[in-house]
Amino acid sequence: MAPLSSSPTERTQVGIVGAGPAGLVLAARLAAAGVDFVVLETRSRDYVEARVRAGVLEAPTVRFLAELGVDARLRREGLVHHGVHLQWRGQRHRIDFAQLSGQQVTVYGQQELVCDLIACHLAAGRHIRFDTEVTAAEGILDPLPDRPDGGVVLGWRGPGGAHGALACDVVAGCDGFHGVSRALAGRQRLLIRERAYPYAWLGVLADVAPSTDELIYAHHDRGFAMHSMRSNEVSRLYLQVPPDEDLQAWSDERIWSELRSRLAVPGWELNTGPIREKGITPMRSFVAEPMSHGRLFLAGDAAHIVPPTGAKGLNLAVADVKVLGDALEGWYRGGSTTGLDGYSDRCLTRVWRVQDFSTWMTTLLHVDPDGDAFERRLQRSRQDELVRSPSLAANLAENYTGLPLP
Ligand SMILES: Cc1cc2nc3c(=O)[nH]c(=O)nc-3n(C[C@H](O)[C@H](O)[C@H](O)COP(=O)(O)OP(=O)(O)OC[C@H]3O[C@@H](n4cnc5c(N)ncnc54)[C@H](O)[C@@H]3O)c2cc1C
């Protein structure tokens, strides 16, 4: 086969693989810095815009999106929450974010943010190629040069079996956990640390007004449950289930009945309604280090996965690309590689802090099917302490609403 470098059909400065939150926010940051890019996305625009996933934005994420000027609809439609409810043994306890951390979170569906970003990029005439899968690369592991030199070529497969190549200076691997970027880095170069949890989340999206003004995280002997929302008309709810659970075993009636049991507190009613979507998501922690290799920079789920209990996956992706965007601006504007050289270390400090927080939230609230009586008693002690200790509650509030962006 002819080398890719013999036939680049297009040239740009930064090749971005993936149009999820990481790729699209990085694109907005580069556009603000006047750096040229092309985003290559394997899925169609319709598919990407309809994919229901995360929904809680930290305060620093919202501020960064505002700086980039992509927050108009988020400001109008996002639901600002000043606290969260934690629940165990039939009692609900409110953690007051405003009082404990001086911050808040904003509930806004990931797919809404993705829609906003795509609309903004396309309206400005920027390049997002949908239905275009990156399959190969040349020059990607060569040392980063002092000056941009167009030394990388990405090979892609597009609609109707078309093939092409994009020449660029560096590549941002924003292609999620199942993308190609980690393989391009070479698996032998990556130090992988991971943990699988003995449970998964059955998530539903229901056309019913939320039964709560703020999110409820509930620990119950039958397993964890969560009540979240996407708007004043749409509820998002989750149940802890075994990792190999069969979705077919869960009728709508069974889901509502189980949610009613696990979320129950005296005097509170759960609104029920038509379930629009349901799915099972495994729970996993994963980190691939380092996050940069030559001219390839991994960002978001391509480099790390956190269990969703802490609502951190999307926020962590945004934190990565903030660091990457700043570093790329420094390289293109000032000719300095310092930011890019330090990219991985800078991101990983936050990644491990967030891994710790997400693991702590997860083990605080789930029922471990393999846990012994000692473990269950420790968990109960941790829950009690969180209600008793203002400093522990403040720590939760600070981490949940978001540590300052690097
Ligand atoms: C099913 C699911 C449910 C989730 N639910 C929650 C939740 O409830 N709460 C929470 O906080 N977080 C949740 N998350 C995590 C959160 O959604 C992710 O952390 C976030 O999407 C990360 O963004 P990203 O841009 O790094 O990756 P992604 O959103 O995965 O985007 C990567 C993009 O790259 C594209 N791509 C892949 N391979 C290629 C290729 N070879 N060439 C071109 N493009 C490619 C993909 O199609 C995709 O569009 C969930 C994740 C999943 C998978």
Q: Give domain status of residue 76, yes or no.
A: no
- Note the pLDDT of residue 187: 87
Q: Cα–Cα distance between 281 and 291 in angstroms, integer?
A: 25
Q: Where are the beta strands (DSSP E) in 72-211?
A: 79-81, 83-88, 91-96, 105-107, 127-129, 133-138, 152-157, 163-168, 170-173, 191-206
pLDDT, tens digit, for every residue of 155-198?
Answer: 999 998 899 999 999 999 999 999 999 999 998 999 999 999 99
Give me the catalytic one of 238, 332, 343, 400: 400
The one-character DSSP state at 264 is -
In a domain, 350, yes or no: yes
CATH number for 321:
3.50.50.60
* Shared-domain flag, residues 17 and 138: yes
Q: 362 lies in a domain?
A: no
Cα–chain center distance at 47: 17
Alpha carbon separation from 309 to 180, 214, 357, 365 (Å, rounded)? 26, 15, 9, 9
Is 60 exceeded by the pLDDT of residue 1? no
Q: Are residues 237 and 382 in the same domain?
A: yes
Tracing tokens 């099972």 back to the chain, one arrives at 280
How far is 200 from 379, CA to CA, in rounded Å? 19
What does the block give as tokens for 79? 């639901």
Residues in the chain: 406
Matching residue, tokens 């660029």: 168
Tell me the CA–centroid distance for residue 40 and ligand 1, in Å: 15
Q: Which two tokens stand for residue 258?
A: 């189980």
What are the pLDDT digits (tens) for 259-308?
999 999 999 999 999 999 999 999 999 999 999 999 999 999 999 999 99
Q: Would residue 77 count as lying in a domain?
A: no
Name the closest-CA residue to atom 52, ligand 1: 53
Q: Ligand 1 pocket: which of 111, 175, 247, 358 to mutate (most atoms <8 Å of CB)?
A: 175
Q: Check if the beta carbon of residue 14 is closer than 8 Å to that of residue 35.
A: yes
308 is catalytic: yes
Asked if residue 322 lies in contact with residue 406, where contact means CB atoms within 8 angstroms, the answer is: yes
Please check whether residue 148 lies inside any domain of the structure: yes
Residues 170 and 209 occupy one common structural domain: no
295: which 2 tokens? 């001219």
pLDDT, position 161: 87
Decide if pLDDT at 323 tops 90. yes
Find out whether 178 and 43 touch, Cβ atoms under 8 Å: no
Co-location of 201 and 267 in the same domain:
yes
Q: What is the widest separation between alpha-carbon atoms in the chain?
A: 71
Average pLDDT over residues 81-90: 97
User: pLDDT (tens digit, 9 = 90+) per residue, 353-385?
Assistant: 999 999 999 999 999 999 999 999 999 999 999
Same domain, 44 and 149: yes
Q: How, if at all, do strands 14-17 and 105-107 pair?
A: unpaired
Can you give the CATH number for the domain in which 236 is found?
A: 3.30.9.10
Residues 225 and 347 occupy one common structural domain:
no
Residues 273 and 293 occupy one common structural domain: no
Active site residue 217: yes
Q: How far is the CA of 246 from the centre of ligand 1 (A)?
A: 23
Does 322 participate in catalysis according to the annotation?
A: no
The pTM of this model reads: 0.96
Tell me how many domains the chain contains: 2
357 Cα–ligand 1 center, Å: 20
Ligand 1 pocket at CB < 6 A: 17-23, 40-43, 48, 53-54, 110, 133-134, 174-176, 179-180, 281, 300-301, 308, 311-314, 317
Pairing status of strand 225-229 against strand 163-168: unpaired
Q: Both 143 and 41 in a single domain?
A: yes
Do both 317 and 213 map to the same domain?
no
Which atom of ligand 1 lies nearest, measured to the CA of 132? 43
Tell me, what's the pLDDT at 9? 78
Q: Are residues 128 and 180 in the same domain?
A: yes
- pLDDT tens, residue by residue, 212-257: 999 999 999 999 999 999 999 999 999 999 999 999 999 999 999 9
Is there a domain that residue 126 lies in?
A: yes
The H or E element containing residue 229 is: strand 225-229
Same domain, 168 and 278: no
Identify whether residues 348 and 295 lie together within a single domain.
Answer: yes
- Tell which one of 114, 314, 323 to mutate to probe ligand 1, the residue whose CB is within 8 A of the most ligand atoms: 314
CA distance linking residue 339 with residue 328, whole number of Å: 7
**361 domain-assigned:** no
Out of 304, 308, 322, 366, the active site residue is 308
Residue 8: pLDDT band (50, 70, 90) is low
pLDDT tens-digit series, residues 389-399: 999 999 999 99
| Residue numbers of the domain that contains 238 | 82-103+197-283+369-401
Probe target for ligand 1 pocket from 17, 53, 114, 309, with the most ligand atoms within 8 Å of CB: 53
Q: Which uninterrupted H or E stretch holds 286?
A: strand 275-289
